[in-house]
Amino acid sequence: DAEITQSPRHKITETGRQVTLACHQTWNHNNMFWYRQDLGHGLRLIHYSYGVQDTNKGEVSDGYSVSRSNTEDLPLTLESAASSQTSVYFCASSPGTTDTQYFGPGTRLTVL
Amino acid sequence: QKEVEQNSGPLSVPEGAIASLNCTYSDRVSQSFFWYRQYSGKSPELIMSIYSNGDKEDGRFTAQLNKASQYVSLLIRDSQPSDSATYLCAVNGGSSGGYQKVTFGIGTKLQVIP
């Protein structure tokens, strides 16, 4: 069955380290998204991509970057982790810009 | 003003009752509306999508959309303890630099009491 996976599921890191969170989908969806979810804020968009080599900033993109070298993967990199980036991160994909988004299982990141 | 507003709850209803979850949005050009359910520690999963004014029913769930009032709601009939979760309203529409922005509300926590 087609699916969307994230790894690692849990990560503890130290302030200043570079961290990469993986997202892989087998639906062949063109659109992929990264969100963070924090209490009181709901889901906030970090970065998104409409296809290979396309990346765009969302509302909370500072300190994060993404790259899209193929249809299946959209890794999220925290260039220099900060405690404010402690959160639960969700990757999502959708076949079109007005279609439903399908979410991965999430990664819980703790920055000490 | 938040773009998508929901009461965070918790909303408590007895088992078998109708749960009514409400959402308002600020962008009048919004086109697509979604309700996601999120169990504690899990990822959001789609329950309903609605694109035109009126009601849309799927089993025990009914989504209602009123674009004039910028209001979307979710009714859950015959509520079960397994419906206890946080329900996220999401609104898709309104272009900004070519991106059709999806905005999520903070979610309403529903508790169904046995």
Q: Which of A18, A23, A32, A24 is nearest to A85 (CA)?
A: A18
Which of A34, A43, A50 best tests the B interface by mutation, with the highest count of B CBs <10 A? A43
Pairing of β B61-66 and β B11-14:
unpaired
pLDDT in tens, B18-67: 999 999 998 888 888 999 999 999 999 999 999 999 999 999 999 999 99
Which residues on neighbouring strands pair with residue B112, listed in sequence order? B13
Confidence band of A84 (pLDDT split at 50, 70, 90): very high
- Say whether residue A41 is in contact with chain B using an 8 A CB cutoff: yes
Check pLDDT > 90 for residue A88: yes
| Contact at CB, B99 and A90, closer than 8 angstroms | no
Q: Which residue has the tokens 């892989």?
A: A24
pLDDT in tens, A23-49: 999 989 999 999 999 988 889 999 999
Confidence band of B98 (pLDDT split at 50, 70, 90): very low
- Say whether residue B92 is in contact with chain A using an 8 A CB cutoff: yes
- The average pLDDT across B73-95 equals 91
From the centroid of its chain, how far is CA A21? 7
